[in-house]
Amino acid sequence: MRSTTTSTARLEARISKELHATLKRAAELQNRTITDFVIDAVQEAAKKTIEQTEVLRLSLADQECFAHALLSPPKPTPALKRAFTSHHKLLSAE
């Protein structure tokens, strides 16, 4: 169920009569209001969308490659050494 908060925002949507009837029926089957049903459904869809975008999933081969790179990193190149030196100088100047 949704939690009660002191601050709310309004969301409006135009939907077909058929969709409204479907939502009403689904809400009735769960003994809930249409508003509660829609809010929970939208919240779950939003969480799923965010998770799919923000969570990185790697294949087993990619996991092994990543772990190998962490455990046995390559030696720094001259360009990387210069970048570290430059970065250190910038931080020391502040």
Q: Is the pLDDT of residue 87 over 90?
A: yes
Specify the pTM. 0.56
Q: What residues does each domain of the chain span?
A: 17-93
Amino acid identity, position 21: A
Q: Is the pLDDT of residue 2 over 90?
A: no
For 33-53, write each residue's pLDDT tens digit: 999 999 999 999 999 999 999
Buried b / exposed e across 31-52, counting CB within 10 Å, b at 16+? eeeeeebbeeeeeeeeeeeeee
CB 85 within 8 A of CB 93: no
The tokens 């970065």 sit on which residue?
87
CB 76 within 8 A of CB 84: yes
